[in-house]
A and B are shown apart, each in its own frame.
Chain A
Amino acid sequence: MSVRRRLEALAWPASSFAAVLAAWQLAVTASRSTTFPAPLAVARGFAELAARGVLVPYTADSLMRVLGGFLLALSAGVPVGLVMGWYPPAARALEPVVQILRPISPLAWIPVSIVLFGIGNGATVFLIFLAALFPIVVATSNGVRGVPELYLSAGRNFGLSPLALFRRVLLPAILPQVLVGLRIALGISWLVVVAAEMIAIDSGLGYLVIDARNAGKRYDLVIAAILLIGGIGLVLDLLARRVERLPRVRWGFPRSDGG
């Protein structure tokens, strides 16, 4: 990309950001609201949180919970997806179960999870597990169903045992699609952690959002926390997309814009 184009690519979003900030500031001043914060107030709120030393530990807590739930969902979801994708009877039996459980928002599980796990990390991780499970199962089973019969025939032709066929042909073949499912699940997990941490007692970015509002209507801190949550979510998504570009899986994403 030429220099001019690169500048353009930065200038346009930058100016629209600036426009949004300006409009925001204007709206707040014009409405003379005492509760809704202006951009500057949010920036100061951010600094205050940093000074208080809560940003890093809370972020770490949220990330740990996401990681825990996500890994559990991965270890349960991939095998289930594999079975569902490979054995049509299994798919027919399990599809309705998935289809009924999936629309139930993790939030709706809160009362049940509190009964099961009490208030604390266990319940939060459980909610994230639920949220991440279904995208992973769906992506994996779709991946298996999409593997060209050709690859499996070639594998058999080369004398591979069923186990070797699974390990050396099926798994690499479904990897790109599974990675997409993992990325989506990660995104959802991060969204849910905000909700899930409403029931966690004392730490995490989601907790921060709720606490800042409840303990003093500090909407500047609320928005600061929201933006931070969004920013981290974006970083997670970008990292996940980076993994998708590794040579071993790039073949699964034929167009270079990667969507």
Chain B
Amino acid sequence: MSERKGLTAGFDLLPFCGIAVLVAAWSLGIRLRPGSLLPGPLAVARAIAELAANGLLWKHLVASLFRVTWGYLAAVLVAVPAGIALGSTRRPDQAIGPLLEILRPISPLAWIPLAILWLGVGDQAAIAIIFLASFLPLALTVKNTVRRIPRVHLQAADNFGLTAWSRASKVVLPAIAPQLIVGLRLTMGIAWLVVVAAEMIAVNSGLGFLVIDARNAGNRYDLVVAGMVLIGLVGLGLDTVVLRLERLPALRWAYAQAGSRR
């Protein structure tokens, strides 16, 4: 078994090849169905340019980012302490844990009618839905991760006489940090998915709204797909930002696992 030679060129072409193939297949697919309402890559590019030109691009982008940021941050600020608390105690966890587990499989979208009922159509309802959709999985992930901390670490904390607060901040939080970052990234993904969904129903601006509105108000499918592409790109950008956090050297200890093929 010899070692495989990797690409020695500094620039890696492959990722672009993948995207290029996708775009080419898309273009081909459109050409094969000439009467189709769906746009090809060029039409979509033009649509994006159009949006940029008349300022709608930024308007919708900012609206979506605004909602997702607030909803997500609120969720993180509540979910992490809540998760740690639930993971570190017994009785409160027995009381509240099952409740959360039951709420989790309920689609965030199902909450929309209730959110609208309570908060009316607008930003608040959208942010509330994002909060709810992000809070539940994150809190449960934090809780489960806390429960999995090797007992030796917790015993050391008790042995050294740490207060509850010190224990949480100096032992529990660093111990769960790698898993927590992964959870934060996944939750970011969920928040972004949900904001798009929420915008399709609850508000009048944002990328999700754009997708639905472009179709309803004139079958502008080029704008529809432009919206989708933008959603994908922004989602990727958000994910990359959180991914940077995963790579921090302070968290490297979690990746020092022997035996995998990485």
Sorting the interface of chain A by its residue count into under 10, 10 to 19, 20 to 34 or 35 or more gives 35 or more
Cβ proximity bits A97-123 to B, threshold 8 Å, 1 near / 0 not: 101111111011111100110000000
Q: How far is the CB of B20 from chain A (nearest CB, A)?
A: 9
Hey, what's the 0/1 contact readout for B37-64 against A, CB within 8 Å counting as 1? 1100000000000000000000000000
- In whole angstroms, what is the CA distance A109 to B197 when docked? 10
Interface positions of B from 80 to 138, Cβ below 8 Å from A? 91, 94-99, 101-111, 113-114, 117-118
Looking at the assembled complex, report how far the CB atom of A20 sits from the nearest CB atom of chain B, in whole angstroms. 7
* B21 cross-chain contacts in A, Cβ below 8 A: 93
Complex CA distance for A111 and B220, rounded to whole angstroms = 10
Chain B count of residues within 8 A CB distance of the other chain? 67
- With a cutoff of 8 Å between Cβ atoms, the chain A residues found around residue B32 in the complex are none
Closest to A151 in B: B259
Q: Which residues of A contact B156 (CB under 8 A)?
A: none
A215 to B104, CA, bound (A): 27
Q: Kindly provide the distance from the CB of B85 to the nearest chain A CB, expressed in whole angstroms.
A: 15
Q: Which of A8, A103, A223 is close to B193, meaning CB atoms less than 8 Å apart?
A: A103
Main secondary structure of the interface of B (DSSP, over half): helix
A79 at interface by CB-CB < 8 Å: no
> What string of 1s and 0s marks CB contacts (under 8 Å) between B157-195 and chain A?
000000000000000000000000000000001001110
List the interface of chain B (C-beta within 8 A of A): 1, 12, 14-19, 21-22, 36-38, 91, 94-99, 101-111, 113-114, 117-118, 144, 147-148, 189, 192-194, 196-197, 200, 208, 211-212, 214-215, 221, 224-225, 227-228, 231-236, 238-239, 259-262
Interface residues of A (CB under 8 A from B): 8-9, 12-13, 15-17, 20, 35-36, 89, 92-97, 99-105, 107-112, 115-116, 145-150, 156, 187, 190-192, 194-195, 206, 209, 213, 219, 222-223, 225-227, 229-234, 236-237, 255, 257, 259
